Amino acid sequence: MDFDFREKNIGIAFTGSFCTYEKIFEAVKRLKEGGANLYTIFSDHAASMDTRFGSCEDFMERARSLSGREPIVTIPGAEPLGPKSILDVLVIAPCTGNTLSKLANGISDTPVLMAAKSHLRNNKPLVISLSTNDALGMNLKNIGILLNTKNIYFVPFGQDNYRAKPNSMTAHTNFLPDTILMALEYAQVQPVIVSPS
């Protein structure tokens, strides 16, 4: 399916959960192919940690290549997104449990969380692409809070390994473009829970 994102400024904010980056980049590539004007933001850990899934510099280089601009990697760099009303929609992908819990409790101590806070002040949509091992544990209450928060929308998600990790849930990133299109109309794509994956 072709998606039309021409003249749309879309922010993609990366947090941890490095194991999902390949799927995230595939989804971001589809946004670019649809004409999106991309801005990328990296959390402190995403911008500085090398893991078995790849190096931070490689991930940031892919972000540069897709967006044509330098990733935002500092809180002062992220803060102007709101006052300048740069983005039409901001996507946190992947959104870890740590970032999710801070967002639900009004904490903005990383570039990604500052971008979210700054963007939401403009009453524009924020999309969450969840990836956390404790979605059905300690973070379930935070998912509930954010599902019920104005201008926040979720990429459909489900249990990714219900036998070995029964509390773990992750977004179905193939639904990311559809979720963004719906969020731009201030609506939540349905169903939200698609499980097991």
196 within a domain of the structure (yes/no): no
Segment 96-113, tens digit of pLDDT: 999 999 999 999 999 999
Number of domains in the chain: 1
Nearest to 14 by CA among 41, 52, 44: 41
User: Range of 15's domain?
Assistant: 9-184
189 within a domain of the structure (yes/no): no
Alpha helices per DSSP H over the chain: 21-33, 44-48, 56-67, 75-78, 97-104, 111-120, 140-147, 176-184
For position 28, which CATH number holds?
3.40.50.1950
144 within a domain of the structure (yes/no): yes
Residue whose entry in the numeric block shows the structure tokens 């590539």? 29
41 within a domain of the structure (yes/no): yes
1 within a domain of the structure (yes/no): no
Residue 1's pLDDT band (cuts 50, 70, 90): low
Q: Is the peptide bond before 196 cis (omega within 30 degrees of 0)?
A: yes
% of the chain residues with pLDDT over 90 = 90
d(C-alpha 5, C-alpha 37), whole Å: 8
Helix/strand/coil for 154: strand
Segment 47-70, tens digit of pLDDT: 888 888 899 899 999 999 999 999
Find residue 95's DSSP bridge partners. Answer: 130
pLDDT, the chain, mean: 95
Taking the CA atoms of 91, 125, 154 and 105 in sequence, report the sign of the dihedral they define: positive
Q: Is the pLDDT of residue 92 over 70?
A: yes
192 within a domain of the structure (yes/no): no
What's the whole-model pTM score? 0.95
Taking the CA atoms of 114, 136, 192 and 150 in sequence, report the sign of the dihedral they define: negative
